[in-house]
Structure 1
Amino acid sequence: MELGPNTDDWLADTRTSYDTVAASYAELTRHLLDETPEERAVLALFAELVLAQGGGPVVDVGCGTGRITGHLRKLDLDAFGIDLSPGMIDVARRDQPGVRFDLGSMTDLTLADASVTGLVAWYSLIHIPDGEISSVLTHFRRVLRPGGPLLLGFHVGDESKLKTEGYGGHPMKVHVHRRQHDQMIEWLSEAGFAVETHKTLTSAESKLGGIILARRRP
C-alpha cells in the first residue's frame, strides 16, 4: 500500500511501524538522555515551569516507550504518556511500572479541556503531515491550562523522507518531516501559544534537533 493523503493511511502506517520496532527501539534509545546534557537541562527547565504553576498532571504525547515520561517523573512531575502504538505502550508499561500510559492519537486527544498543567511532544510531531499540524496544536492548546508550558522537540531542516527501516533493520513505513524554527513558531502562534525560547541542539537524539518552549495564551 502506498502512503496517500488519507489520514487513516499514514496513521495506520505509523502505528504498524512502531509496533514492529517497539522492543528494539526501547533498547537502542534507553540511554540517550545520558548522552545529552543540554536536553536534560531543557527538560529540567520545563519541570521547573510546571512546578512554578503549582504542579499537576503533565502529558507526554507520542511517548513511545516512556523514557521521557519516566525522566519527567524523576523530576517530581505527575507525568503520564499517550501513544498511538500498542506495542510501544506495552513496552512503556513494562519499563515504567506503576506509571499511567494510554493508547491514543495526538490527532484526536480525548483528554478533557484544560486538564493538564504541562505538555511535552518530544520528537513526536516528526511524522505528522504539514496539513495536520495546526489541528494537532489546537488539541494541545485545548487540553493545556492557561499559561501552561508546552515543550516540543523536532528535527530541523526542510526535507521530508520516507523511512523504510530502522532500529536494527526492522521494516518501517513512516515519513520523517524536518522543519525550520520559523515555521514551527508560526504554527504555534496561530494555535494560541506564545513562544518563550527556542534553540537548535546537536545531540544523540538528533544531529540537528530543534527545541521550542512555549506557553498557552489565555
Structure 2
Amino acid sequence: MSRPQLESDVRSAYDEVADSYADRFRSIEPEEAIDIAMIEHFGSLLQAPKKVLDAGCGAGRMLPVLAAMNCDVEGVDLSPGMVRRARRDHPSFTTTVASLTDLPFPDSCFDGYFSWYSTIHLPDSELPLVVDEVRRVLRPGGVALLAFQSGTGTRDVSEAYRRHGHDIVLERYNRTADQVAAALSVGGLQEVARLERSAVSPHERDGQAVVIAKV
C-alpha cells in the first residue's frame, strides 16, 4: 500500500476471513507459555470488580481466558464478521462492533483494557487516538495490556490469507516496546511490565512484545 491503511480496509479484510480465522484459532493455540504468563500477570494487577474490555476481541477466543481469571469481560471489534462469530461461538459474553479510536463506553468504566494484537493494523498516526481512549475508559488504578509484533516497518500479511482462498489486502505495522510504552506514557499510563521475545519458528516471522501499564 502506498497510503496508510484505513479502518475500512481492515474491516473489509477481517469480514472476509472471519470464519476461516475463527475456525483455525479457537483458543490459545498460537500462544507460548510466556505469553500466557503475561496475561495472567495482567489479571493479577486488576482491582475488583475486574471489569475488562477485550479491545479488538476478534472472534472472541480470549474472552473465556480472561473470564477464567475472574474477570467480568466484554469485547469490541471493528469487524462485524468477527463479532458475528464471537456471538455465535461465545454467546455468554457481550460483544459489540466498534473502533478502538472511538469506543462506545462512558469514562472510567473499566478496570482493565486488554489489547491482544489488535493495534497492529493501525498506522502510527492513530496510536495516540487509541491511547486516549484507553485512558478515558479506564478507572483510576486501571491496567492496560497491549500485545503486538515487535520491530519496525510494515509487513504485507495478505499472502497467508490468500493461501486459504481469501483475496484481501492487509498490512501490519511493527513497533518496538519502547515506542508503545512511550505512547502510553504520553497518554497518562505508566509502564509496569514488558515482555520482548524472539520469533518462534516456523509460525512467527517477527519478535513479539507485550507492554502492561497502569493509570
Same fold (TM over 0.5): yes
Aligned partner of residue 111 in structure 1, secondary structure: coil
Letter in 2 for 1:164: S
- Residues 146-202 of structure 1 show CA distances to partners (whole Å, capped at 9, x for unaligned) of 111101100001111333343424122222000111111111110111000111134
Percent identical among aligned pairs is: 36
Q: Matched residues in 2 for 1:206 and 1:191: separation?
A: 30
Aligned partner of residue 147 in structure 2, secondary structure: strand
Q: Matched residues in 2 for 1:12 and 1:44: separation?
A: 33
Aligned partner of residue 9 in structure 2, secondary structure: helix
2:142 pairs with one of 148, 160, 165: 148
Summarize the alignment of residues 1-218 of structure 1 with structure 2, pairs less than 5 Å apart. 4-5=3-4, 10-33=6-29, 36-50=32-46, 53-167=47-161, 168-201=164-197, 202=199, 207-216=206-215
Is contact 1:19–1:88 with CA below 8 Å preserved after alignment? yes
Q: How well do the aligned residues superpose, as a CA RMSD in angstroms?
A: 1.9
Aligned partner of residue 112 in structure 1, secondary structure: coil
Q: Unpaired segments of 5 or more residues in structure 1?
A: none
Letter in 1 for 2:178: D
Is contact 1:3–1:10 with CA below 8 Å preserved after alignment? no
Aligned partner of residue 170 in structure 2, secondary structure: strand
Q: Unpaired segments of 5 or more residues in structure 2?
A: none
Aligned partner of residue 101 in structure 2, secondary structure: helix
> What is the number of residues matched between the two proteins?
210
- Residues 31-73 of structure 1 show CA distances to partners (whole Å, capped at 9, x for unaligned) of 44475211221111111211xx112320010110111122101
Q: Which has the higher helix share?
A: 1
Q: TM-score, normalised by structure 2?
A: 0.90
